[in-house]
Amino acid sequence: MINIAVLGYGTIGSGVVEVLNTNGESIRKRAGAKINIKYVLDIREFPGDPISEILVHDVNIILNDPQVKIVVEVMGGINPAYSFVKEALLKGKSVVTSNKELVAKHGAELLDIAKTRNLNFLFEASVGGGIPIIRPLNQSLTADEIVEITGILNGTTNYMLTKMSEEGIGFNEALEDAQALGYAERDPSADVDGHDACRKIAILSSLAYGMQVDFEDIYTEGIANITDVDILYAKALDARIKLFASSIREDDENVYAMVAPMMIRANHPLYSVNDVFNGIYVRGNVIGDVMFYGSGAGKLPTASAVVADVVDAAKHLNKNIWTIWSSKKLDLINIDLVKHRFLIRVNKKKEILDDIKALFGEVEELTEVVKDEFAFITPLITEREMKDKKERIPGLIGSIRIRF
């Protein structure tokens, strides 16, 4: 029997207990031993819930119990999760977490502590909910140099964009639905402003390139400015709007990463990733294209990934599973140098076409989608050029990057 403790009895923590209760027997076979939850830590009481019998409020009971071999941290946030996790590792316990903020900020340090003590720090659930992506990057795609990772990594915003497009509901209603379904972060701006996807692409990039990619360095735009009019344009272009998190390695020295809404067409592999689903497209220099798809958020999919890590930790007690993520910082190239095409909307008629052509050269004109608006698609230009030219576009209403 292997004793574990679960820190946090919220959505994911209760999911972990449920998964271990539902699939206990098959999990025992796979782990080679029964996984026994010895403690659940939470500041709250849960009267009537069977976990009350193992509920503790003081983390030291768990940290000082040598029988606890694996600690599952599903509290979220940096404090106090970071100190609890670090202390657990220092006391010889492996740690499994779903906490992307913690992994993005302190992953390299915590992996290093685990490595030097023959323990494991595992975080499959921190990216892509239930989708296996961390383990494939660490253990399956090891023959490749990864040259691109592009993902729809936030279930909440993908759910919102899908509902806005398919059901015509507004931004706020879509967000309320996502919150009711348990997909959204406690602070929903983490989802809608792109910070959650930013941390996730930082984690994947650090693992893929073996160096620390700081999330603070990643250019990040969310979906807060996307309106029903943008959706109309997407439909007129046979396209969809997706919040993309991308990390692209142009050569050994040059990697850029960004999070931003993107218009894509059916020929893009992520076009059909709708609703709360996440999709992650990985390109390796020898394998070519690989896709990962599944539920990106929610109680049981995320708990499934957490418990799978518990099984892995149980199978590797006292043996570190090697990862190449080092604390050496990877300097990303300036986003100003990255090129995109942009769909631009102006509140003037075509009379300004000459001004537009003077700014951008030949553009692709759209037939009228919205009355009294003119819209066009630029050639491939750098982010810097777009920033500089934006101020000179007459009657600018909005713009969005397109990848087709």
Stretch that binds ligand HSE, among 79-87, 115-123, 149-157, 252-260 (CB under 6 A): 149-157
Instruction: Provide the CA 381 distance to its chain's centre, in angstroms.
Output: 27
Residue 124 as a binder of ligand HSE (CB under 6 A): the answer is no
Active site residue 349: no
Can you say whether residue 62 is alpha, beta or left, with left for phi > 0 and alpha for psi between -120 and 50 degrees? alpha
Tell me the closest approach of the beta carbon of residue 19 to ligand HSE, in angstroms.
16
Is the distance from CB of 375 to CB of 233 less than 8 angstroms? yes
Among 183, 215, 256, 360, binds ligand HSE (CB under 6 A): 183
The residue from 8, 129, 130, 194 that contacts ligand HSE (CB under 6 A) is: 129
Q: Does 155 bind ligand HSE (CB under 6 A)?
A: yes
End-to-end CA distance of the chain: give it in Å, rounded.
54
Q: Treating both helix axes as pointing N-terminal to C-terminal, what angle do 11-22 and 299-315 enclose, rounded to 10 degrees?
A: 60
- For the record, the structure tokens of 41 come out as 């830590």
CA dihedral defined by 64, 67, 73, 79, rounded to 10 degrees? 0
Kindly determine how many residues on this chain lie close enough to bind ligand HSE according to the rule CB under 6 A: 11
Interface segment toward ligand HSE; rule CB under 6 A; list 134-142, 182-190, 212-220, 350-358: 182-190
Task: In angstroms, give the least distance from the CB of 126 to ligand HSE.
Answer: 7
Residue 11 or 212 having the CB closest to ligand HSE:
11
- Asked if 185 interacts with ligand HSE (CB under 6 A), we say yes
Minimum gap (Å) between residue 100 Cβ and ligand HSE:
6
Nearest Cα neighbor of 232 from 393, 378, 380, 367 is 367
Q: Are 173 and 118 in contact (CB under 8 A)?
A: no
Residue 375 interacting with ligand HSE (CB under 6 A): no
- Interface with ligand HSE (CB under 6 A), residue from 154, 205, 220, 247: 154
Residue 14 or 399 with smaller CB distance to ligand HSE: 14
Active-site option among 93, 200, 242, 299: 200
In order, the DSSP letters of 204-224 are HHHHHHSSB--GGGSEE--ST
d(CA 162, CA 180): 16
Element (H, E) at 398: strand 396-402
Q: How far is the CB of 105 from ligand HSE (least distance, A)?
A: 15
Q: Is 156 a binder of ligand HSE (CB under 6 A)?
A: yes
Query: 3-state class of 110 per DSSP?
Result: helix
Which member of 184, 192, 239, 375 binds ligand HSE (CB under 6 A)? 184
Considering only 196, 312, 373, 383, the residue that binds ligand HSE (CB under 6 A) is 196
Q: Which is nearer to ligand HSE, 129 or 294 (by Cβ)?
A: 129
Site for ligand HSE in 54-113 (CB under 6 A): none
The single-letter DSSP state of residue 30 is: H
For the bound state, the minimum distance from the C-beta of residue 243 to ligand HSE, rounded and expressed in Å, comes to: 10
Q: 283 to 342, contacts with ligand HSE by CB under 6 A?
A: 296-297
Instruction: Identify which range of 24-32, 105-113, 152-160, 265-273 contacts ligand HSE by CB under 6 A.
Output: 152-160
SS3 call for 154:
coil
User: What sections of 277-399 are H helices per DSSP?
Assistant: 299-315, 353-360, 383-390
Tokens of 304: 């499934």
Instruction: Copy the structure tokens of residue 114.
Output: 């685990």
- Tell me the residue nearest to ligand HSE as measured from the CB: 156
Nearer to ligand HSE, 150 or 156 (CB): 156
- Can residue 13 be called a binding residue for ligand HSE (CB under 6 A)? no
Strand order in the sheet with 94-97: 55-56, 35-41, 2-7, 68-73, 94-97, 121-122
> Across-strand partners of 246?
150, 258
Give catalytic residues, as residue numbers. 200
Residues that bind ligand HSE (CB under 6 A): 129, 154-156, 183-185, 191, 196, 296-297
